[in-house]
């Protein structure tokens, strides 16, 4: 299990492996130079290398654990985590994928559960890093809301993927905030506009690869206060189902990001909304 990150240091954007205690980063460039195994210049390019790249990286990290040839670069004001990678195309998203969120969204305790996944996308221009500021665009919207979500990153090209084969197409996981302009979401028949304003998709900070335990818990805090706590075990449509339905007749590409839906606790669900 590893957490891959991108970071800025000495005016350059680089990538590497986060230490287990999240205090530092093993730079990919230093690992490559030490062990003479090729890696990519950016994390986005490394993701496109698929399993071959991950196997090479795992070998390097195993060797380095033994001989300590590469020391981690400690996080500091001069070493700052950034957007892990910039997706090449729109973020693929799922609406109403937790039962409790369906009820709060519809403001109806008896709200009907979707029979099939509800898909929409967020413009790639909405993506920003985890520490970047969200612009609330006060001249465009007055109802900006948060939605913390687990996101799946696709690791290889595929189409018509069976649910039982879906796990082999998963490269790793990250976190996004599906920031939403609720008034625009209601105003337009589709959700794309209300979900896609610039800065409305903070992502990261890490890409989680390897055998992370499942199910996973998604937590969202606003100003230090816990607002959302959901477990992927409660997804109406599990990840394998989402990948299978999305890929039916439609090619998924390495680096595609699928946001799996938000749990209960969004601002619009509170009384009054917050």
Task: Give the model confidence (pLDDT) of 119-150 as tens digits.
Answer: 999 999 999 999 999 999 999 999 999 999 99
Strands 201-202 and 127-128 come out as: parallel
C-alpha 174/C-alpha 158 separation (Å) is 20
36 φψ region: left (φ > 0), alpha (ψ -120 to 50), beta (else): left
Three-class DSSP labels, 104-140: HHHCCCCCCCCCCCEEEEECHHHEECCCCCCCCCCCC
How far is CA 105 from each of CA 4, 38, 98, 262, rounded to the nearest angstrom? 34, 48, 10, 11
| 3-class secondary structure, 53 | helix
Work out whether strand 201-202 and strand 144-145 pair parallel, antiparallel, or are unpaired. unpaired
Q: Which of 82, 102, 137 is the last residue of a domain?
A: 82
Residue 87, phi then psi, degrees to nearest 5:
-55, 145
Whether residues 140 and 12 share a domain: the answer is no
d(CA 42, CA 271): 44
Q: Which two tokens stand for residue 274?
A: 């917050």
Domain count of the fold of the chain: 2
Label the pairing between strands 257-259 and 148-154. Answer: antiparallel
Same domain, 204 and 234: yes
Same domain, 120 and 205: yes
In a shared domain, residues 56 and 99 = no
List Cα–Cα distances, 92 to 121, 165, 198, in angstroms: 5, 19, 16
* Residue 250, pLDDT score: 97
Phi, psi of 202 (to 5 degrees): -60, 135
Mark whether 70 and 195 lie in a shared domain: no
In sequence order, which residues have a C-beta less than 8 Å from that of residue 65 and are 6 or more positions away? none
What's residue 129's pLDDT? 97
> CATH code at 123?
3.90.850.10
Q: Are 134 and 179 in contact (CB under 8 A)?
A: yes
Please name which of 75, 98, 103 lies closest in space to residue 14, comparing C-alpha atoms: 75
Quick check: is 215 in a domain? Answer: yes
Task: Indicate whether 263 belongs to any domain.
Answer: yes
Task: Clarify whether residues 176 and 196 are in a common domain.
Answer: yes
Domain endpoint, select from 26, 60, 82: 82
**Mean pLDDT in each 10-residue stretch from start to end of the chain (274 residues)?**
95 96 96 94 96 95 95 92 96 92 75 91 97 96 96 97 97 97 93 97 96 89 93 94 98 97 83 72
Q: Give the model's pLDDT for residue 266.
A: 86
Q: Are 228 and 148 in contact (CB under 8 A)?
A: yes
Q: How many other CB atoms are found less than 10 A from the CB of residue 135?
A: 14
In a domain, 76, yes or no: yes
Do residues 107 and 57 share a domain?
Answer: no
Same domain, yes or no: 120 and 57: no
Residue 22 sits in the same domain as residue 151: no
Residues 63 and 147 in one domain: no
CA distances in angstroms from 245 to 118, 129, 180, listed in the order given? 11, 29, 24
In a domain, 122, yes or no: yes
My answer on whether 29 and 98 are in the same domain is no
In a domain, 121, yes or no: yes
pTM above 0.85, yes or no: yes
Which pLDDT does position 213 carry in this prediction? 83
274 in any annotated domain: no
Range of the domain at 40: 2-82
Which residues make beta-bridge pairs with 217? 231
Which domain-ending residue is among 82, 103, 132? 82
175 and 250 belong to one structural domain? yes
Rounded Cα distance, 218 and 229, in Å: 6
């Amino acid at each position: 299990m590893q957490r891959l990150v991108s970071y800025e240091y000495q005016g350059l954007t680089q990538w590497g492996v986060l230490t287990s205690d999240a205090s530092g980063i093993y730079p990919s460039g230093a690992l490559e130079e030490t062990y003479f195994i090729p890696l990519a210049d950016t994390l986005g390019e490394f993701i496109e290398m698929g399993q071959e790249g991950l196997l090479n990286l795992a070998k390097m990290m195993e060797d380095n654990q033994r001989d300590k040839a590469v020391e981690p670069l400690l996080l500091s004001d001069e070493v700052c985590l950034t957007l892990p990678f910039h997706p090449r195309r729109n973020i693929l998203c799922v609406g109403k994928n937790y039962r409790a969120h369906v009820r709060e969204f519809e403001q109806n305790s008896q709200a009907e559960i979707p029979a099939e996944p509800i898909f929409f996308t967020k413009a790639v221009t909405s993506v920003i890093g985890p520490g970047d500021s969200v612009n609330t665009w006060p001249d465009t919207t007055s109802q900006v809301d948060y939605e913390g979500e687990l996101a799946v990153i696709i690791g290889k090209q595929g189409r018509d993927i069976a649910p039982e084969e879906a796990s082999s197409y998963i490269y790793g996981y990250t976190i996004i905030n599906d920031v939403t302009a609720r008034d625009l979401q209601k105003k337009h028949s589709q959700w794309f506009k209300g979900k896609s304003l610039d800065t409305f998709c903070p992502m990261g900070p890490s890409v989680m690869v390897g055998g992370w335990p499942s199910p996973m818990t998604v937590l969202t805090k606003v100003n230090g206060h816990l607002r959302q706590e959901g477990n992927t075990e409660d997804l109406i449509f599990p990840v394998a189902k989402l990948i299978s339905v999305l890929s039916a007749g439609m090619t998924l590409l390495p680096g595609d990001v699928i946001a799996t839906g938000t749990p209960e606790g969004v601002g619009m669900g509170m009384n009054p909304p917050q």
